[in-house]
Amino acid sequence: MAVVMSTRRVSAAAVASLVFGLGAGLAGCVDPPSLGDNQHRVSWEEFRAAVYQEPDSGLFILDWDHPIRGEAALHAYWSRLQPGALTIYNNGADVAWSAAQKKNLTYCVSNGFGGNKNAVLAAMVAATEDGWEKMADVDFIYRPAEDGNCTAANPNVVFDIRPVNTSGQYLARAFFPDSPRGDRNVLVDLAAFDPQQTGGIPLANIMAHELGHALGFRHEHVRPEANAAECYEDNQFRPVTAYDSASVMHYPQCNGTSTPLAFTQRDREGVALVYGPPVVNMPPMAQVTYPGDGATVPPTFTVETSIVDTDVARVELHVDGAPYGTSTTPPYRFEVVGLAAGAHVLELVAVDRVGQTVSTTVNVTVRSGGGGGGGGGGGTGDDRAEIITGGCQASGPDTPTGAGLTFGLVLLAGLIRRRRAA
């Protein structure tokens, strides 16, 4: 979700953490206030009652994924949002890891994940070795010896990754580089393992988004260019690159254009500007963004991809081991026509100009008797996800439709609907 990534400048009162806030609505649903209209003032009691509080950590979760510790800090945040209140801008330095710290971002993965642990480990490899580390001079280091004591109190790792059951309040949450050790954790909700609740976003991409926060990056949709007034958070950010609605850090339901939250070329450019490029020429990053692994598709469909590299020579699509097509220019899409009913393997191969190659595969099933366009006619009949705005209905004509970030979260699965092919 190509991106402009923004580093956040965090006030001393706020915990610099973020949550991948695509969880269920908060208890209560309050219309967002118009900051220039006293008629839309939200009382402290209403605000406090609407904000989800993690039962174990005690952190309040707002702005879709912004944990704040303590009612005093939460009250200060509420006061800042009220009509007529003064706002103090933080003009401090970027919140980022130092040159030494960025090469030693150690972590553990709790054994409490049980049968889901291997999925978390694979997702972390995709998000680190095959993700952020390919784009910048950073190093996430897994310490399996610490897994048995993978808690917020473990001083032997920079951060811990643990399971949590929030009943769908969020899919996962992370932190910012200046968070204290007790708050430096990536908490993964059970919903993150259920494609029906994630809207089809792969766990690897969820973890990539969270680690973007751990590197200091804000949500991309905080920028005014997103035109996502219903997703307003605050203006404590510094633009790093030009705005890109497809960033891994841009929520789809906030006018983002990448439903699966794949990395983009601007993600690469932005993180390299903050942390420096990789010290060696890395192989390309390649992902099939549609169809998803295990998807059922019609005989004719479009294979969409995300290829991130600075020197891509060509991208190939293989179907069931046989070459199907080659593309040398973005956006590297492939039209698959008349594929026989049954199971098939799609392999995407990206090759850079020095011959480095990377491949990824997805398994699909072509349904029998399918094809043709959808109800509107003329289309491919792909079962693509479409974003639907949702949340609280504003009460006034000048108030944005949808839940304000401060006052509610919307389950991503509730924002996605599938187009039925004819």
pLDDT digits (tens, 9 = 90+) for 226-256: 998 888 777 778 888 889 899 999 999 899 9
Across the strands, what pairs with 170?
Answer: none
- Could you tell me what percent of the chain has a pLDDT over 90? 50
Work out whether the CA dihedral 250, 130, 117, 185 comes out positive or negative: negative
Helix (H) or strand (E) holding 195: helix 195-198
What phi and psi, each to the nearest 5 degrees, are found at residue 321? Answer: 85, -5
The pLDDT score that the predictor gives to residue 404 is: 27
Architecture of domain 292-382: Sandwich (2.60)
Residue in this structure with the two tokens 């808690």, named with its chain if needed: 151
- Asked which of 107-121, 248-262, 314-328 is least confident by mean pLDDT, the reply is 248-262
| Distance (Å, whole) CA 196 – CA 214 | 26
DSSP secondary structure letters along 44-99: HHHHHHHSEE-TTT--EEETTTEEE-SHHHHHHHHHHHSTT--------------T
Question: What global pTM score does this model have?
Answer: 0.69
Instruction: Show the CA angle centred on residue 218, arms to residues 17 and 45, nearest 5°.
Output: 55
The pLDDT score that the predictor gives to residue 36 is: 26
Cβ contact 152:228 at 8 Å: no
The separation between CA 235 and the C-alpha centre of its own chain, rounded to angstroms, equals: 19
Furthest CA-CA distance within the chain:
65
Q: Identify the band that residue 368 occupies on the pLDDT scale cut at 50, 70 and 90.
A: confident
Reference 171, options 152, 194, 150, 151; nearest CA is: 194
| Distance (Å, whole) CA 366 – CA 344 | 8
Sheet containing strand 52-53, strands side by side: 52-53, 60-62, 66-68
Q: List where CATH 2.60.40.10 sits in the chain.
A: 292-382
Residue in this structure with the two tokens 């009162």, named with its chain if needed: 13
Across the strands, what pairs with 159?
Answer: 107
Contacts of 381 (CB under 8 A, 6+ apart): 298, 300, 301, 370, 371, 372, 373, 374, 421, 422
- Amino acid 355 reads G
| Distance (Å, whole) CA 167 – CA 170 | 8
CB atoms within 10 A of CB 18: 30
Helix (H) or strand (E) holding 295: strand 295-297
Tokens (6 digits) for 202: 């792969």
The pLDDT score that the predictor gives to residue 60 is: 81
Tokens (6 digits) for 315: 């991208």
The pLDDT score that the predictor gives to residue 75 is: 63
Average pLDDT over residues 8-27: 32
DSSP secondary structure letters along 111-163: GGGGGGHHHHHHHHHHHIIIIIHHHSS--EEE-GGGGGG-STT-TTSSEEEEE
Instruction: Show the CA angle centred on residue 352, arms to residues 350 and 356, nearest 5°.
Output: 85
Average pLDDT over residues 19-31: 32
Burial-class residue 143 by CB neighbours within 10 Å (0-12, 13-18, 19+). middle
The pLDDT score that the predictor gives to residue 57 is: 82
pLDDT at 38 over 50: no
The pLDDT score that the predictor gives to residue 89 is: 22
The separation between CA 305 and the C-alpha centre of its own chain, rounded to angstroms, equals: 17
Helices of type H across 199-303: 203-214, 265-275
Average pLDDT over residues 174-186: 92
Reference 217, options 174, 185, 260; nearest CA is: 174
